[in-house]
Amino acid sequence: MVLATGLSGCFLDTQKFPGMLTPQSNPLPDGAKSAFGRGAEEAFVIRHSDPVRVRIAETNSVYDLSFYEKRTLIPAGSWVFAGPEGYAEVLLPGDTQVALHGRGTGVVGSESRREPVFTLLDVTAASVSFGETGQVELPGGAILEASSGPFSVETIHDRLIRVRNRSNQVGRVNYRDEVIRLEPSETVELALLSDFSTPFEVDPSTRAVESSAGRIALRGEVEVLSSGAGTVLRATGTSEVEGLGLRLQLRPGDEVRLESLGAADGDL
């Protein structure tokens, strides 16, 4: 009894030095919870194989879709995760379907906020099909736009993804200052740049000319004399031409002909 009374006044601290961590800010920042806000649209997630997890918009908790609860309805702004052996299918507005095969992460977008219907943040292999004209953001920020499918998206290197058009209609990839036309059965490989691959904001005064060598942006007073195998432009005022890796400042009366490096006559 005496021993028990003596020990009752002792306190033993088992915490090792340097002690418990203390928060640097109070309250803690929202983190990923605030990256994508909740939207009015909804998506249906189906787990075909484990593991598949979801995080509801504007929350921090993640829960698994189990064998007895393979389907769930989530609002825009919610996250979908698939593990190394996971297979998740996301049914989106406009009959758009996104399937994640293996490790992958995506977020349901809100088209009412002018967002792509789905954003792929990380992917091993995925397929995308559109029921109507829509957009899906690819890893790195490039935008895939089409009205059919499927399109396959796969990571072939930690800084490189491959997009293949498996449909019978044309798709487009908006990559920085380029619009890549993807014909049926064609494939394009996109570098994941450190400063993102998001399409550039277009100056309202810019107009575009599609040529056999790619897209050419015009600003100012420029006449298009020819847009066949070689694009011929003439400046009628101070203007700027951008395309094929060039940015040219033109004065009134200047004339320029642009061709790809593979042109037969060697002109540029």
Q: Two tokens at 260?
A: 């790809």
Q: Is pLDDT above 90 for 11?
A: no
> Are residues 57 and 123 located together in one domain of the fold?
yes
Whether 93 contacts 117, CB under 8 Å: yes
> Are residues 49 and 81 located together in one domain of the fold?
yes
> Are residues 144 and 169 located together in one domain of the fold?
yes
Residue range of the domain that includes 61:
34-191
**pTM beyond cutoff 0.75:** no
Q: Is pLDDT above 70 for 146?
A: yes
- Of 59, 5, 61, give the one whose Cα is nearest residue 33: 59
DSSP 8-state symbol, 111: G
Hey, CA dihedral for 217, 222, 227, 232, is it positive or negative?
negative
d(CA 158, CA 192): 8
d(CA 117, CA 102): 21
At 203, the pLDDT band (50, 70, 90 cuts) reads low
Please state which of the ranges 31-45, 59-73, 83-97, 112-126 shows the lowest mean pLDDT: 31-45
d(CA 265, CA 233): 18
- 29-51 average pLDDT score: 83
> Are residues 160 and 63 located together in one domain of the fold?
yes
- Of 91, 214, 217, give the one whose Cα is nearest residue 233: 217
> Is the backbone peptide bond immediately before 27 cis, with ω within 30 degrees of 0?
yes
d(CA 166, CA 186): 8
3-class DSSP assignment, residue 6: helix
> Are residues 185 and 212 located together in one domain of the fold?
no
> Are residues 44 and 162 located together in one domain of the fold?
yes
Helix, strand, coil content of the chain in percent (nearest 5): 5, 50, 45
> Are residues 179 and 229 located together in one domain of the fold?
no
- 143-150 average pLDDT score: 92
Whether 167 contacts 183, CB under 8 Å: no
Looking at the chain, the whole-number percentage of residues with pLDDT higher than 90 is: 43
- Of 81, 85, 74, give the one whose Cα is nearest residue 49: 85
Q: Is pLDDT above 90 for 166?
A: yes
Number of domains, the chain: 2
- Position 20 in a domain: no
> Are residues 61 and 174 located together in one domain of the fold?
yes
- Position 2 in a domain: no
| Maximum C-alpha span of the chain | 108
The domain spanning residue 102 has which CATH number? 2.60.120.1440
Q: Is pLDDT above 50 for 265?
A: no
d(CA 50, CA 40): 28
Rounded to the nearest integer, the mean pLDDT of the chain is 82
d(CA 53, CA 62): 6
Q: Is pLDDT above 60 for 1?
A: no
Q: Is pLDDT above 80 for 266?
A: no
Dump pLDDT digits (tens) for 215-235.
Answer: 777 878 888 877 666 788 888
